[in-house]
Amino acid sequence: MSLDEQVLSYPIPSDAALEPPAEWAELRSKCPVAHVKLPSGDQATLLTRYEDVKRVLADPRFTRQLNAPDAARLSAEGNGVFNSEMAQIIPDGGDEHQHWRRLVGKWFTAKRMAALRPSMEEIAEQLIDDMVKCGAPGDLKAGLGFPLPVYVICDMLGVPAADRERFSYWSDALLNLTRYSRAEMEAAQGEFFQYMADHVAARRAEAGDDVLSELIAAGGPEEGGLTDIQILVTGMALLVAGHETTANMIGKMVSMLLADRSRWERLLADPSLIRTAVEETLRLDANSGFGLPRYLRDEIEVGGTVLPRGTTVVCSMAAANRDESVFEGAEEMDLRRSPNAHLAFGVGAHSCLGQALARTELQVVLEVLLRKLPSLELAVPAEELERVEGLAVGGLRTVPVRW
């Protein structure tokens, strides 16, 4: 049976943790608009070509209303982070979304992120020192990748360092679809909600130098600001969106660069490559997770195929990022690639709000690692790295390293 006749199960498994499934190239060339079966058993349409994925993500007719009655469910338990009640509180589209985005987005400008660099460097140095103290081999994911983004988000939200561990747990419990029971996930969400409600109330009483205080200071909806519940949910969303994604990417980035150690050596010899190297690992991340689902309210044609209204589309940015018609030598890692218009953060009005934060964190981690641990290497062959199985965010189980 050829690919265009069969219904593939999605996500498509891959044999090697850092490598893409062979099906991606075949889908792009022969079946760019493919029928797939999701873990829930529901059917969806998978897009793998760069132009199609880019167009759909930037087109507001492809909505994020995955709660529509005839939208595909991603897993049997529902859509997790993609349509929790929480997600519905933040405006989904149009002017209201743009208004929310601009209120929050001012916290994520390139300049603000540059100003955070010294504190990020300090966090990275401290975590690396702790990892080194425990002796080699160490797990770079547990020691550096996982804690760093939580600490940074806690600082942005004005959460004291003493509460960082609780934030780490809540974030993991909300996003890790396999490690915790439903009851544990619900309890974590409840505790997290309560913590943030108290935190917002405390900030309302006494403002601090953090994103929540700033959102409160903007006033209520009648003054052009947000409601209390929107502020609270925005705070929760920043942790959920910004933790596991970056945490896993740190581990995958370092693994990809160490898998062929000549890459690491080139970076040691010329650290000015750090920026483009980070972008290239984002482009080549074959294990980025589910992709972005969209729900179609009207009939629309994509890549020569008419999609009926009610279709759920899954955009595979990771497959699109290896499209040979857009990226020269698409399967090769080119640490100098420029321009590198990959779709790892999505594209258009809904592209990742925290992308400047994520980029800065990845660049800082790489800079500090190259400086402090130039002899860093994987402690297992790259082929032995294992993927975390879960729906929302792709990552590696552990990243064993020595130095």
Structure tokens at 45: 């349409």
Closer by beta carbon to another protein, 15 or else 223: 223
Binding mask 53-82 for another protein (x = CB under 8 A): -----x------------------------
Q: Which of 34, 307, 353, 369 touches another protein (CB under 8 A)?
A: 353
Residue-by-residue DSSP string for 365-378 = HHHHHHHH-TT-EE
Residue-by-residue DSSP string for 147-162 = HHHHHHHHHHHT--GG
249-288 residues near another protein, rule: CB under 8 A: 275
Exposure on the CB side of residue 106, measured as CA atoms within 13 A: 10
108-137 residues near another protein, rule: CB under 8 A: 108-111, 113
The answer to the question of residue 30 lying near another protein (CB under 8 A) is no
Phi, psi (5° rounding) for residue 268? -60, -40
Query: Which helix H or strand E contains 8, and what residues bound it?
Result: strand 8-9
Neighbours of 90 (CB within 10 A): 16
Interface region with another protein, contact rule CB under 8 A, candidates 32-40, 175-183, 227-235, 352-360 = 352-360
**Residue 79 contacts residue 67 (beta carbons within 8 Å):** yes
Interface region with another protein, contact rule CB under 8 A, candidates 8-16, 259-267, 296-304, 332-340 = 332-340
Interface region with another protein, contact rule CB under 8 A, candidates 102-110, 149-157, 182-190, 244-252 = 102-110
Q: Which of 25, 89, 335, 352 touches another protein (CB under 8 A)?
A: 352
Exposure on the CB side of residue 359, measured as CA atoms within 13 A: 21
CB of 207 to another protein, least distance (A): 17
Indicate the residue type of 272: S
CB of 114 to another protein, least distance (A): 8
Q: Which of 273, 335, 340, 370 touches another protein (CB under 8 A)?
A: 340
The answer to the question of residue 349 lying near another protein (CB under 8 A) is yes
The answer to the question of residue 152 lying near another protein (CB under 8 A) is no
CB of 132 to another protein, least distance (A): 30
Closer by beta carbon to another protein, 169 or else 345: 345
Structure tokens at 6: 């069969």
Q: How many residues bind another protein (CB under 8 A)?
A: 29
CB of 353 to another protein, least distance (A): 8
Interface region with another protein, contact rule CB under 8 A, candidates 101-109, 202-210, 229-237, 257-265 = 101-109
Residue count of the chain = 403
Structure tokens at 335: 């640490």
Peptide bond into 11 cis (omega under 30): yes
SS3 153: helix
Return d(Cα 276, Cα 269) in angstroms, integer: 15
Structure tokens at 63: 């909505």
Which residues contact another protein by CB under 8 A?
Answer: 58, 101-103, 105-111, 113, 275, 338-341, 345-353, 355-356, 359
